[in-house]
Every structure is written in structure tokens, then in C-alpha cells.
Structure 1
Amino acid sequence: MDRRAPQVSSNKAMKVAYRPFGLISGIAGGLVASVVFKQVWRRISDEEDAPDALQSEYPWRKILLVAALQGAVYGVVKAAIDRGGAKAFQRWTGEWPGD
């Protein structure tokens, strides 16, 4: 008898159960990342808001550096929230959602 088959369906069930939780944490992560980026930008720049790619008065270099910083902040915040959410899910269910 193959014992792996029930575990595979259990893993699929856990992944499905985690989807709403992951969606909510993803939205929260985006909001938190936006706030964190604005705080970082205010500390490193004289400007209140970061320049947008469609603002012609900024050179390419500045636009690309801002985009890289924003992407890095978003990536770190998203990874932290995703990992924390997976850990919380594991504490509540006993199963890791990504396995």
C-alpha cells in the first residue's frame, strides 16, 4: 500500500486552505511595503515623494535607482510577511503550506 498518496492529497488540501490566508497577507504586505518605502524615501531624500517614471524632470538614473530601491523594499517586506504568515499557518494547522 502506498502511504504517500494520502499525504499528497493532504498537502493539496493545505495549499488550498492557505490560499485565502496568503491572499490577505499579500495585500497586507503590499500596503506595509508602500508605507515602509515612503518612510525610507523620506529619510534618504530631500523630496517628500519619490519621483514617478512619467515625471519628465527626473533623469533616467534617478528613476531607475528609485525603482530598484522600491523593488528591494517590496521584496524584503513581502518575503517577511509571507514567511511570517506561513509560520502562523503552521502553528495553527500543524502543516507547512508550501510543502
Structure 2
Amino acid sequence: MKASKAAYKPVGLALGAAGGLLAGMAFKQAWKILTHAEDTPNATDENRTWREILLAATLQGAIFAGVKAAVDRAGATTTRRVTGTWPG
């Protein structure tokens, strides 16, 4: 295993956790803006429609994927800046 990859491993884990928290907060805010509701729907909530459940899941997935890509790319770029090699 390359040294840069090994050095990136704990950084990547920490960034992933922080990104997950950030994505969760972003999703809750986006849902609140879109629906004017405080709570986000659960798939097993019988009082929610299929449309609402699937829209929420799709929005949440898109936000998480976007945040993950941004965090991963920023972490890799920073690692290259510090170590001189790409952590891939």
C-alpha cells in the first residue's frame, strides 16, 4: 500500500463521517424548504404517500452522493497538496 493511500485512510474516514452529518443537515433543510414540514418521512410511515416517500428518498440520495463526491475530491486534492501524490 502506498504511503499516501495509507495516510489518506484515517483522513478519508473522518471526512466521510463529517460529510454524512453535513449531508443529513442539508437534506433536512432542503426538505423543510420544499415541503414546509419539520419532519422528514420514513418509508414505513403509513400516513405518507408513495410519492412523498420516493421523492424524499431520491432527494436524500442525491444530496448524500453530491456531498460524498465533494468531500472525497477535496480530501484527495488536499492529500496531494500535502504529500505530493494522489491517494488513489
Q: TM-score range by the shorter chain?
A: over 0.9
Q: Matches of 2:87 and 2:5 in 1, distance apart?
A: 5
Which residue of 1 is the match for residue 76 of structure 2? 86
Deviation at 1:61?
Answer: 1.7
Which structure has the greater CA radius of gyration? Answer: 1
Which amino acid letter does the alignment assign opposite residue 71 of structure 2? I
Cα distance per residue 1:16-63 (max 9 Å; x no partner): 221101000000100000111111111111211111111111111210
Name structure 1 gaps, 5 residues minimum: 1-8
Amino acid at match of 1:15: K
| Corresponding letter in the other structure for 1:47 | A
Q: 1:68 deviation in Å?
A: 0.4
Number of residue-to-residue matches in the alignment: 88
Query: For residues 29 and 37 of structure 2, what CA distance do their matches in structure 1 show?
Result: 12
RMSD between superposed Cα atoms in Å: 1.1
Q: TM-score, normalised by structure 1?
A: 0.83
8 Å CA contact 2:4–2:79 kept in 1: the answer is: no
Aligned to 2:60: 70
Runs (4 or more) in structure 1 with deviation over 3 Å come to none
| Structure ranking higher on relative contact order (CA contacts 8 Å, 6+ apart) | 2
What is the TM-score normalised by the length of structure 2? 0.93
Report the equivalent of 1:4: none
What stretches of structure 2 of length at least 5 have no aligned partner?
Answer: none
